[in-house]
Every structure is written in C-alpha cells, then in structure tokens.
Amino acid sequence: MRAEDNRKITETGPGTPGGDWMRLYWQPVALTEELDTERPVVPVRVLGEDLVLFRNDDGTIGLIDRRCAHRGADLSLGRLEDGGLRCYFHGWLFGPNGSCLDTPAEPEDSKLKQKVRIRSYPVQECNGIVWAFLGSGEPPNLPALDCFIAPEEYTFAFKGYLDCNWLQALEVGIDPAHASYLHRFEEDEDTDDSYGKQFRNASLGTNLPMTKILREYGRPEILNARTEYGQRIVALRKLDKDGLDGSSTHVRITHQVFPHGITIPLSATMAITQWHVPIDDVSCYWYAMFTSLDEPVDKATMREQRLEGVTLPDYKPVRNRANNYQFSYEEQRTQTYTGLGRDINVHDQMAVEGQGYIYDRSREHLSRSDRAIVTYRRMALQAIDTVAEGGSPETLLMDTADVESRGPIPLDGIGPTGQWEEYWAQSIADLRKASPWASGLHAALATGPAGVPDSEVEPDRSQSPDAYDRS
C-alpha cells in the first residue's frame, strides 16, 4: 500500500478525507452504563474531537464541546445543574443542544448568551450504547441491523480500549486465518462452560469443540463477497483428519459492516457486532453489541466476565503494553499460542498493538489469507474519494423503510462439503424461525445464499504483486 493511501485510510481527525467519510455514519461514543452514575458526565474523545457527554435530570442527553465557549475551561468538570452543564470558571451554562442558557457574570441586561453557542452533536441511545452523529446536515437513521432491532433484553453491550489506530483493530476482525494461530489452545475446554466466551463452544449441530477445529485445520479456504453493507467473509475448513472422511466442512461466516464494524458469531445463537471507533489516530475503542436470537442475554454474567479484564472508568485492559501483556513463556510453551491467557480479546489486542500506533502498510507482504483486508481497503479508499468529490458512499445504510432486517447473520457450524451456501441459508432460516423476536422480520438482502444480487465472490488477486493497485 502506498504511504499516502495509508495516511488517507487511517487518519480521521476533523477536516481529513477519512474523517469526512467517517462522519457520515453514527459513531458509538459511550456505553449507557457510563451514564448510570450519581453525576452522569463523561469526557469523550472521538475522531480526534474532545467532547463531553452528560445526562440532564429530565433524561435528555447532550454531547457538547469539552472546552467552554467563554475562555476554554474544561466542562467535563463542570456543574451539572439547571438543565445543562455549567462552567466552573465564570458560571456560563450550556444546554444539551449547545445553546448558552446563562452568563451570570455579565450585566443583567446582557444579550451575550443569545449570540453564543457551543459545538454540539445529535445523540441517541440504542441497546446499551450512546451513538453520536458528528457529521453536518441531517443524520441518517441507524441501519436496520439485527443488533439495533432486537429487544433490549436480547442484547448486551461492552467496550474496550486499544492503544493503536482503529484500522488495525478492524483488520484483525476480517482475517479468518489468524484464529487458528493467535487463538490456539493446546487443550479443549468443557464446551458446557462456554457461555459468553468466544471460540469455546461447540459448532452448531455438533459436539466438536471450536478450539479443536481451529487448532487442527490451520489453512482455511477463504471466500469474500461485496455486499451493500460491506463484505461477507466465508472460511471453510474441510474436516478430513482423525478418522473424518472430508464429507463435512466447518463453515464460519462473518461480515464487515461499514465503516468500521464486523459481525461475527459468538455461539450458535448469539452474534457480536463490533465497531472500532477512532478516539484519535493512535487509539480506538471497540464497542460490541451481543445479540441473542433465542434467549434474553445473561447480562450480569457477560459483564462480570468482561470487567475482569479492564479497569474503569476507561475500560483499559489490565494486560497492556506497559506490563508486556503479562506474557508467560511457560504458558506459551504448553497451553496457548500467545502465552497471554485465555481471553481472546487480549490476543487480538497484543496482535494489533504490536503493529505499532499507526501501522506502516507500505512494508507488509499480503498473502492469500488477507483477501478480505485487501477488498476492505479498496472499498474504503474508494468511498473516501467518492465523499471527497461530493458523492455518497455505496455502503451507507440510511433507509429503513424497505427492509426490516439486514442481519447480517453470521454462522459457525458444520455442513456438507461443497454446499455451504445451502447449509447457511437453511441454518439461518431455522435459527430465525425459532427466535421470539426475529421470526417475523424479513431476513432480506444480507441473508440469502447469494447475498446481494449481482455481488460476486471476490477474485483472488493475492498472487498479484500489485494487489493494491486500484486501477
């Protein structure tokens, strides 16, 4: 990748081409639980902008500039009162929509407050996450994805900090081969104890542990197809070892959702949709929404499991660069590929932070297993250019009128070799039919075996020396 393209695709601050593109989409900026405190005021840094999020007594939420419009004091330490956030310096008061409501140090007849406004952005809450729209003009709807449509009790949200550029965090999520290495466990766990954990359960319809499949089949066949929401990624592992005759294939279907999200299976009936939102160019948060098709989510268990690995209030990992991720050589030799324990989020974290704060993609050697990454970069660079020329990217999901659900529905299961499309279609039809909330929705576009009409499986250009050549 050319250095200039690497800059274009990684930088998202105000006024950058990548930033203009990102600002067309709603961004997750906080968990709802962060506002469930005695003083619901949370400093937020997103896309390189310093803001403050707060909730008024009447429940309205505001996202405004962190710097006071008077002389720049830090409003995140302001007084939450009288319908807004009041600056501690001279008492100016700002409402959730950025209007200045009071300038108490000015003469009684001062009209100053009518002329002053502070930067503010529209916000909305959905299923445990506060979303903000940092673009100009009318915000689009949230797209009609399962995670937004599901009833709140069928979802659970969490987040975590990564000490590197957002694109590294996204790219690990669209790279199906790494799971056989980075997330390898030498011993299988009891799959009955897998609730809420990734890669620990048995695949749909079998009792073959995921850990065994990933460990023993390290060369998946990878297919990818462009879709209206981004990309569908298929990893196939034909099961032909240990007495298996190759008539069955492990099928793992995941999705890239623009601009910076993925949807992957946690278990047979639970999907994770995860966004990788830039804090700035050298750090990001992942926000995940877990969506269950069959039963309400045990949020307390899910939260407890995840709180073990982070420190609050920043959701920063306990294992990090500063403590060398608590790496254990003994464990690396005998139990795990990484020596970093059994939380796969930590493995991914070390992998992407290990690439540096902003990975220099002019030095890499892309391989066949990177095909979805190559496609993503092409699509994203194209979208950035389109937006810079005043156009609209094709992967913006604004309309919710014509479709009630776009999934996209991931899958992890074992089906007949050579028939993954039929197997996928049948499996998701069965799963949705049994779902209390999804059975009545149209599983349109994103779910059928062929995906979007006319979309084709991406040709394999990985052997080409100019895999990045966009011409």
Q: Is 155 exposed, middle or buried (0-12, 13-18, 19+ CB in 10 A)?
A: buried
With contacts defined by CB under 6 A, name the span among 26-34, 89-97, 192-200, 354-362 that binds ligand FES: 89-97
Q: Which does 90 bind (CB under 5 to 8 A by kind): ligand FES, Fe ion, none?
A: ligand FES
- Position closest to Fe ion via CB: 348
Kindly state the smallest distance separating residue 73's Cβ from ligand FES, in Å.
Answer: 4
By beta-carbon proximity to ligand FES, the closer residue of 88 and 357 is 88
* Pairwise CA distance, residues 466 & 42, whole Å: 45
Under 8 Å between Cβ of 416 and 424: no
DSSP string, 208-252: -BHHHHHHH----EEEEEE-SSEEEEEEEEEE-STT--SSEEEEE
By beta-carbon proximity to ligand FES, the closer residue of 92 and 359 is 92
* Pairwise CA distance, residues 75 & 427, whole Å: 51
Residue 316 makes contact with ligand FES by CB under 6 A:
no
By beta-carbon proximity to ligand FES, the closer residue of 68 and 446 is 68
- The count of chain residues that interact with Fe ion, using the rule CB under 5 A, is 1
Among 7, 79, 90, 117, the residue binding ligand FES under the rule CB under 6 A is: 90
* Buried b / exposed e along 179-212 (16+ C-beta atoms within 10 A): bbebbbbeeebebeebebbbbbbbbbebebbbbb
Under 8 Å between Cβ of 412 and 252: yes
Residue 92 makes contact with ligand FES by CB under 6 A:
yes
Among 31, 44, 68, 272, the residue binding ligand FES under the rule CB under 6 A is: 68
Residue 71 makes contact with ligand FES by CB under 6 A:
yes
* Pairwise CA distance, residues 141 & 403, whole Å: 13
With contacts defined by CB under 6 A, name the span among 84-92, 228-236, 340-348, 441-449 that binds ligand FES: 84-92
* Buried b / exposed e along 313-324 (16+ C-beta atoms within 10 A): eebbbebbeeee
- The count of chain residues that interact with ligand FES, using the rule CB under 6 A, is 10
Within 329-348, the residues that bind Fe ion by CB under 5 A are 348
Among 50, 83, 89, 113, the residue binding ligand FES under the rule CB under 6 A is: 89
Residue 87 makes contact with ligand FES by CB under 6 A:
yes
How distant, in Å, are the alpha carbons of 173, 175, 222, 250, 460 from that of 457?
Answer: 19, 16, 10, 19, 9
Kindly state the smallest distance separating residue 440's Cβ from Fe ion, in Å.
Answer: 34
- Which residue ranges make up the site for Fe ion (CB under 5 A)? 348
Residues near ligand FES, by CB under 6 A: 68, 70-73, 87, 89-92
